[in-house]
Amino acid sequence: MKRTKYMMSKGLAFAEKGDLEKLSKKAKQGWHLKSLALAGYRLEKSVPEEIEYSIDYRLLREEEKEEYFEIFSLAGWEHVCSSNDMHIFKALPGTNPIYSDKESAVDKIERLSIPIFSIGKFIFPLTVLFIIMMSIFHGPIEKFSTIAFCISLVFATPTLMMVIALMYRKRKLSMSKEY
Amino acid sequence: MKSLEQLTDSVFYIMSALTKPSHGYAIMNLIEETTKGDVVIGPASLYTIIKKLLKEELIILHDASDSRRKVYVLTDKGREVLTEDIKRRKVMIELAEKGLMEES
């Protein structure tokens, strides 16, 4: 049986570049990305190699997959693994980047933002509602809303952090002259 | 790329390549060869732009018999938009050329 190990993700909304660089470093030590795992990556022991990784977000219909992966593969980016709308590719160092213009790179961040923003639209008003309930009611309703507030805060806090991180990345990219 | 009214360079190149029916990889190759490697469209950018052009009805699926290499081509609307953008770019170039010539 092949040896595998787990590498934790720092969160793709915050540290996509950091995660991908760390995966490259691991590949140099012989640990290759095999698949995506819960909040991280599963690596498999193999020979040390210089590999660059890239990630794209896109919800693909079944009939779109072949064409999408073919375009990447002909450009030198081999598909490694996917999970829902997340796709990871690998290539030799020096392969042209998967995004060559700013506009479509901004579009990528927007696609990544959609699910996070929709959670935000639901959880932020709910949290505020519980705060209001906590302050106007007394007795059992107050107790209930305090507990509900604490629970919603557990979800609202990381969501808010992700929303801020994504907005910051989009802004930074829109203003950069890198492309 | 909120709206395609003013085409970005990448969109302009891809639409120019699609004046004839072509598939994704052929588009990338044609652009790279024509510009002698100065302009390379990344696969993720290419795919994003193709989807956007389809949505805006500037290109259509021409031949889907090979599901790995779908062939697209400009629509009449696409030809119109491209022609308008050529005009816009010509004005830019004429201004620069005229300026440089007057100087010398």
| CB hemisphere CA count around A48 (13 angstroms) | 3
pLDDT in tens, A79-132: 999 998 899 999 999 999 999 988 888 889 988 898 899 999 999 999 999 999
Predicted complex ipTM? 0.87
pLDDT in tens, A19-76: 999 999 999 999 999 999 988 999 999 999 999 999 999 999 999 999 999 999 999 9
**Residues of chain B contacting A70 with CB distance shorter than 8 Å:** 24-25, 68-69
Measured between CA atoms, the residue of chain B closest to residue A58 is B48
| Residue A99 to chain B, least CA–CA distance (Å) | 5
pTM value? 0.84
Minimal Cβ distance to B1: which of A66, A100, A107:
A107
Q: In sequence order, what are the residues at sequence separation of 6 or more whose Cβ sits closer than 8 angstroms to the Cβ of residue A9?
A: A15, A19, A39, A40, A41
In whole angstroms, give the CA distance from residue B83 to residue A67. Answer: 29
Contact A96 B28 (CB under 8 A): no
Question: Which of B48, B56, B62, B72 to mutate against chain A (most A CBs within 10 Å)?
Answer: B48
